[in-house]
Amino acid sequence: MAKKKRGGKPQQASRQAPPLRRPETREIAVAQVTDKYSEYPSNGLTPVRLAEIFKEADAGDVLRQMELYEELEEKDPHLFSQMQTRKNAVTGLDFEIIPFDSDDERDKEIAEFIEGQINSIESFEDVQNDLLDAIGKGFAVSEIIWGYDEGYVVVKEIKSRHQKRFFWDSVDDSFKVRTAEAPQGIELPTNKFILHRYKARSGHPSRAGVLRVVAWMYLFKNYDLKDWVSFAEIYGLPLRLGKYQPGASEEDKRALMAALVQIGADAAGIIPDGTTIEFITTEKNSSTNLYEQLARYCDEQISKAVLGQTLTSDSGGGSYAQSKTHNDVRHDLTVADCKALAATLRRDLIRPLCIFNFGEDRRIPYLRFDCEEGEDLVQTANIVGTLIEKTGLSVPTSYLYKKFSIPKPEAGEEIAKPPSMTGTGSPLLPFTATAQSAPIALKAGGAAGHGTQARADYLAQAAARRSASAFKKAFAPVLKLLERANSLEELRELMEDDDRVAALYDEMDVTGLEELLQKVLTYAQLEGRAVEDGRD
C-alpha cells in the first residue's frame, strides 16, 4: 500500500488536452479579525437560553450555536479528549490515491499527479483535522487557494473558515458565506471550497452535529460542578448562626455579619457586646458523592455520543473482552469517518484538480484511508501454511507479498535465503515440515552426512511446530472457561469448584498430543538404534 509522502514538488503528468476551465484564484472568505472573538453564550447558560440558541440555528443562523460549540470543547476536558480521540483516529492513518481504472495508463497518470499534489500540501493532517470538525458541529468549510506552477493548476494552500461565517438563507435555504464585500452573504462558488458535512442523524445539517446532543449533558454537568465546588468550599464546616439583640442598629447587624464571614475565612473575628454567635454542626450526609456520580454519568453519556461506547474512556469499567467489543464499535465509527472524509476530498479537491488540469470530470481517482484493523500475521501465516499443506490449495505469491506487505524482489536484487544445514547447527525448517515428514527428513539428513544431534534437533523442531494445533485442541475447554470469566476474581471462584475442575480435565482432548509424542519417541528410538548399530 502506498503511504503518504512528505513535501516535495508534485509529480507532474503530461497532458493530452488543454484544461477546459480556469480556477478562481482570489481569496473569497478572507479571515476577519472578528472571527476570533465570541459572545461566550455559555456564560450563565440555562435550559431556556440553550433552547433559544438551537431555535436560531434551526432558522438558519448558526452563529451563536457555533460559538457555543467552541466553548464546550474549551471548558469540558472530557469532551475535548473524546473529540480529539475521534479525530486522531482518522488523521493518524496513511492513505493512498487509487486510479479510476488501475489498468488504464491515462488513469494512472492522473492518479500520480493527484497524489503529488496532495503530498505537496503543507500539514495535510491539519487540513483533515479542520474538516473533521464537522463531526461535532455538523459541517466544516475550508477554502482552496488555487495557483499555477509551470502551466499546471496547483493547490497553494487550504485555509479553514470558521463555521459562524456561514448560514442558511431563510428564503430558499441556500448555504451562504458572509464576506467583507458581501455581509449579506453569497453562495459558495463552485470548485472553491471544501464543504464536509457529518450527519450524526437525519435532518437539517444545522442540527446534525454530535455536539447538539452533547450540549444538554454539558449543561447539566455545569450545574452539577457549580454546586459541587460550593459544597466542597463549606464541607465539614459548622453552620455559623449570629444572634443580635432586639433594637440592634444596622451598624451592629453589619458588624455581626462581617464577623461571621471573617470567622469562616480566618477562624477569628470581633462582635459588638450583647451579640452572640452559635456554631451548629450537622452529621455528614451519606450521599456526598452524588455530585461525582452525576458528573460521571454525564461524562459517560458524552462518551457514548462521541465514541459510541464508554469502556475505552476513563469513566468506564469492565473486562478486557467487553472493552475490546466496545473498541470494535469505535472502529466502525472510524471507518465511517474515513469514508465520509474521503468522499468529500474526492468531490471538492480531487475532482477540481482533474477538471482544471485534464478536463476530466468523470474518471476521478479515489482516495482511500488505511483504516482496516491490523491482523495477527503469525496466525495468518499458520492458516495459509495449513491450507497449502493439508488441502494442496494453490496460493499465488502475489497474494502473499501483498498480505504481508513484502515488496516483490526486482530482477537481480539480492534476496534473503534460509541458511544451509551444518554438521553442528540446527536446520531451518520450511513451514510445511511436520512430524509425518520427519522420517524422510532424517533419511535425507543422514545421506548428506549430517550428525545425529542435527537430525534430533530437526525432529524436535518439526514436533514443536506440529504440537501447536494439538495443544490448542487440548486446552480448548480451558480457553472457553477463561472467556466466560469477566475478571480474575470470577475466574478464581470458578477454579475453586473441584467438580468443575475435574469435569474440565475430562473434557480436554489430549489424543493428538499423545499420538504426536508417540511418533516422536518412535523416531528417536529408531535413530538411537541406528547409532548403536554403527550406521550413523
- Greater confidence (322 vs 26) lies with 26
User: How does pLDDT run across 413-451, given as a tens digit for each residue?
Assistant: 777 766 544 443 333 333 333 434 444 344 434 433 456
Confidence tier at 228 by pLDDT (50, 70, 90): confident
Q: What is the pLDDT of residue 159?
A: 94
Measured between alpha carbons, how far is 131 from 128 in angstroms, rounded to an integer?
Answer: 5
Q: What is the pLDDT of residue 10?
A: 45
Round to the nearest angstrom and report the end-to-end CA distance of the chain: 51
pTM of the model: 0.62
Average pLDDT of 172-194?
Answer: 91
Q: What is the pLDDT of residue 350?
A: 95
Confidence tier at 110 by pLDDT (50, 70, 90): very high
Q: What is the pLDDT of residue 104?
A: 86
- Greater confidence (58 vs 271) lies with 58
- Greater confidence (431 vs 239) lies with 239
**Secondary structure (DSSP) of 140-206:** EEEEEEEEEETTEEEEEEEEEE-GGGEEE-TTT--EEE--SS-TT-EEPPTTTEEEEE--SSSS-GG
> How many whole angstroms from its chain centre is CA 37?
31
Cβ burial of 391 (10 Å; 0-12, 13-18, 19+) is: exposed
Q: What is the pLDDT of residue 270?
A: 52
Q: Residue 366: phi, psi to the nearest 5?
A: -105, 150
Q: Widest CA span of the chain, in angstroms?
A: 126
Pick from 513, 348, 346, 530: nearest CA to 446 = 530
By residue count, the chain amounts to 536
What residues are paired with 197 via a beta bridge?
139
Average pLDDT of 40-60?
Answer: 91
Confidence tier at 371 by pLDDT (50, 70, 90): confident
Average pLDDT of the chain is 78
Cβ burial of 179 (10 Å; 0-12, 13-18, 19+) is: middle
Average pLDDT of 223-252?
Answer: 77
Measured between alpha carbons, how far is 170 from 182 in angstroms, rounded to an integer?
Answer: 17
User: How does pLDDT run across 465-517, given as a tens digit for each residue?
Assistant: 777 777 777 777 777 777 777 777 777 777 777 777 777 777 778 787 778 78
Q: What is the pLDDT of residue 277?
A: 65
Ranking 139-148, 300-309, 312-321, 339-348 by mean pLDDT, the lowest is 312-321
Provide the b/e sequence for 430-442 (b: ≥16 CB within 10 Å).
eeebbbebbeebb
Q: What is the pLDDT of residue 383?
A: 84
Q: What is the pLDDT of residue 311?
A: 61
Q: Would you say 454 and 424 are in contact if contact means Cβ atoms under 8 Å apart? A: yes
Q: What is the pLDDT of residue 415?
A: 78
- Greater confidence (460 vs 282) lies with 460
Confidence tier at 378 by pLDDT (50, 70, 90): confident
> How many whole angstroms from its chain centre is CA 524?
53
- Evaluate if residue 174 carries a pLDDT over 80: yes
- Evaluate if residue 18 carries a pLDDT over 50: no
Q: What is the pLDDT of residue 433?
A: 38
- Evaluate if residue 79 carries a pLDDT over 80: yes
Q: What is the pLDDT of residue 429?
A: 37
Question: Do the strands 152-161 and 139-149 form a parallel or antiparallel pair, or are they unpaired?
Answer: antiparallel
User: How does pLDDT run across 29-45, given as a tens digit for each residue?
Assistant: 888 877 788 888 888 89
